[in-house]
Amino acid sequence: MIETLLPPPVVTVHAFADLPGEAPHPGEEDLVAKAVATRRQEFLTARRCAREALGKLGYAPGPIRSGPRREPVWPAGVVGSITHCTGYRAAAVARHTDLASLGIDAEPHEALPDGLDAAVTVAGEPELLGRLAGSHPTVHWGRLLFSAKESVYKAWYPVTGRWLGFEDAELSIDPAGGFTARLLVDGTRTDGGPPLTELPGRWLVDHGLIVTAVSVPPRARHAP
């Protein structure tokens, strides 16, 4: 499912269920030592998906630690992203020579909780969501916008090292399956690439889920 949203160099693995009684991978025990059961299960399955994806790139299985923003810390030369929600876990990885970064997110295909729309939208987006709801009422567009901004942040952070709030990106959404985030803050990168001003992405609705993905081409292929 997620693989249809990303370019061919990306390796993806997903799971719709957890393995009962699964133990943490050596070196990750402390990351879930105090987690509640649901958080523990989603973490273990998502990390297992990530190791399987890394294995397809030729990497031996090992612990995937968390960074200062709880982001997964990948082996040298790898970029990737992990997502999990009720009934779905997924990981996507690629070699740094193929992509500068990527972000994926999955959400249940249902309306956002009351009041959250205002917290995740900027000027112009409520009107966009209204138009989309009028023309394509079967999609929960507010949840899709939320997911798209999550994917944007996951792709943004590895190449900038900075937080990106929901208010820092303005989305345009194509009902055919695409979106573009116009970044409203300085997009200077730490990897020497051209500043990020826009990030395009793709989305789909399937299996009762909204799934979104964003990828940033390597510096040599990124248009200034």
User: DSSP for 134-198?
Assistant: HH-TTS-HHHHHHHHHHHHHHHHHHHH-S---GGGEEEEEETTTEEEEEE-S----SSSPPPP-E
Number of domains in the chain: 1
Predicted pLDDT of residue 220: 55
Domain holding 198, by residue range, is 2-221
**Rounded CA gap, 119 and 98, in Å?**
35
pLDDT given at position 115: 86
Tokens found for residue 35: 């987690």
Q: What is the pTM of this model?
A: 0.94
Region 22-30: what's the mean pLDDT?
A: 95
Looking at residue 147, which CATH number applies to its domain?
3.90.470.20
Q: What is the pLDDT of residues 157-199, one digit of tens each?
A: 999 999 999 999 999 999 999 999 999 999 999 988 899 999 9
